[in-house]
Structure formats: C-alpha cells, structure tokens
Amino acid sequence: MIKHAITISLVTIFIQFNISGQDIFRINTDTISSYDLLYREAEDTLMIGKKKKKKKNVFFGIKSKKGFIRSTRGRNIIYENFYYIKNPEIKNKYAQEIFFYDKKKKKIVKTKEIIDDAVMMHGPYKKRVGDQIIEEGIFYYGLKHDRWLRYNSSDILQNKEFFSLGWYNESVRFFWDSEKEKLKEIIPKRFGEKQGIYYAFHNNGKLAARGEYAFNYPIGTWTEFYSSGKKKREIKFVDSDLNLNKSFITREWNINGKLIYDRALFIKK
C-alpha cells in the first residue's frame, strides 16, 4: 500500500513539473522560427548578365553530393534519392534525431551525434515505390527542415509537416537562462495542439524527460533521466473509460542504475 502511494505521488510530481514549468519559465521562452534559427548563406546563384543561374547541388550555400539507395520490401522496390555532405556539423546541439547515410549498412539512420563511417544528410530527399513518390522533404545538416510530405500509393497526400532545425515549426521552447542558451524543454505543436515528441533537459544539457503527445494528451511511455544520463523512471499513459489519460509508473531505477521497482513484478506479488 505504501509502495502504491509513492508511485502515485511520483507520477503526480512528474505531471505537475511539466505543467508548472511552462508557466514559471514563460519569461524565458520563444517559438520556433526558420528565419531566426537558420543561418542562411548568400543565395545559391551565379550572376550571368541579368540572368541568375543556380549552382548545381548547392543547398543553403553548401556543396552537396548525390546519394542513392535501392531496397526491397516484399514485392516492392524502394528508391531513396538524397544529398549529403562529408564534413558534418552539429547545428542543433539538443536535436535527438540527426540523419546520416550509413555507408556500411547502406541505409539512412537516426542518431544524436556524429557517427563514423557515415555522411550527413543535407539537401532534398525523395522516397519512391516504383515511380510513386511516398515521401519528400529537405535536410539541413542532418536535420529535417521546412516542409515534409507523405503520400499513399494512390498519390493522395497523407501528411504535411513543417520543421525548423529538427523541431516542429510551431514548437515552443523554454530555457533555463534569460540569454536563451540553455534549453529547458521543448513542447511540440502542430496546428495549435501538442503533437509529437516532447523533450526536457537538465541544466547541464543532458536529457531529463522524453515522451509523446497526441492531440494535446501524453501517450505511450514517458521516460525520465537523472542528470548523469541514466534512466530514472518510466511512466505509462493509457486512455481511461472517460477519455482521460491515466498514468502509472512501470519501472524505476536509483541513481546508480539499479532497478528498484518493476510494476509487472509488483502486481504478480
């Protein structure tokens, strides 16, 4: 009974932290904007008389190289056309998804940092099944940027997303400092609703919490981390009969990484 009370208390504290944090730090907040975040080079053109000629394979002022992947999924042949740069740079130190082309695995992978034997995605991207485009967008130093579209096999638009340096364009950021250099949390927003992956960070820059929103409600498993980077607890959100989010801790670790609570084992007892 005591263990159950502690579990409820911890979940309550976690939820209150996310709600109150948005108000307490509102003075140190802003919204994502492509124009104040993205460093734009001079226009990728060459002047020839009064006409402008675009530089070949130059995106955001950076020369890129073409890449190509051919794979199979069942009876379908999948093609991916992309561009990449050999000298990677981290343009968003808080980004949790940076895209590279892994030359050994011969596929596009997601990571949080620069990896060996891989080149950073930079420039337009298209994914096709046969002649049908099913996804297209653009990368900026490995980060999803600007408009991304997904289609079904009948060429009907299924999803449209707008990004800026890896974040949803409407996302709201909160900072630990008034200079807005240390990110505290980022709330993903699409069309005015909380939608997508939520991140919170410790003052030292390490991930503090991660979870997902769908239509303003937290869903799935949310994870908290210690400032050392080790896992602290996992919290599961499920829909109740009243269509309200019910949450409970599924697992918890101490600061040394030892598992101190497992809900599945606790229920069996």
Q: Do 178 and 263 belong together in one domain?
A: yes
CATH value at residue 223: 3.90.930
Q: Is residue 269 part of a domain?
A: yes
In a domain, 46, yes or no: no
Q: Are 175 and 184 in contact (CB under 8 A)?
A: yes
Give pTM, 2 decimals: 0.66
Q: Cβ(125)–Cβ(137) under 8 Å?
A: yes
Residues 177 and 251 in one domain: yes
Which of 169, 203, 236 finishes a domain?
169
Instruction: Please state, in angstroms and rounded to a whole number, the distance separating the CA atoms of residues 167 and 32.
Output: 8
| 112 shares a domain with 214 | no
Per-residue pLDDT of the chain (269 residues; tens, 9 = 90+): 444 444 444 444 444 444 433 333 344 555 554 333 333 333 333 334 455 567 789 999 999 999 999 998 888 899 999 999 989 999 988 887 999 999 888 999 999 888 888 999 999 999 999 889 999 999 999 999 999 999 998 889 998 888 988 988 889 999 999 988 899 999 998 888 898 889 999 999 999 999 999 989 999 999 999 999 999 999 999 876 555 658 899 999 999 999 999 988 877 76
Q: Which domain does 236 fall in, by range?
A: 1-32+172-269
* Domain finish residue from 169, 204, 231: 169
40 falls within a domain: no
* Co-location of 98 and 165 in the same domain: yes
Q: Tell whether 189 and 120 lie within a shared domain.
A: no
Contact 192, 173 (CB under 8 A): no
Pair (239, 269) in one structural domain: yes
- Concatenated DSSP letters for 205-253? SSEEEEEEEETTEEEEEEEEE-TTS-EEEEEEEEE-TTS-EEEEEEEEE
Answer with the one of 169, 186, 218 that is the final residue of a domain. Answer: 169
Token pair for residue 89?
A: 């740079």
- Asked whether residue 154 falls in the same domain as residue 190, the answer is no
Q: Which two tokens stand for residue 95?
A: 């980004």
Q: Provide the token pair at 204.
A: 């030292």
> CA 40 to CA 59: how far, in whole Å?
10
Position 71 in a domain: yes
Q: What per-residue confidence (pLDDT) applies to 269?
A: 64
CB 252 within 8 A of CB 260: yes
**How many domains does one find in the chain?**
2
Q: Residue 35: helix, strand or coil by DSSP? A: helix
- Tally the C-alpha atoms within 13 A of residue 249's C-alpha that lie toward its C-beta: 25
CA atoms within 13 A on the CB side of 236: 11
Single-letter amino acid, residue 260: I
Nearest to 94 by CA among 113, 110, 109, 108: 113
Pairwise CA distance, residues 257 & 231, whole Å:
7
- The CA distance from 14 to 16, in Å, is 6
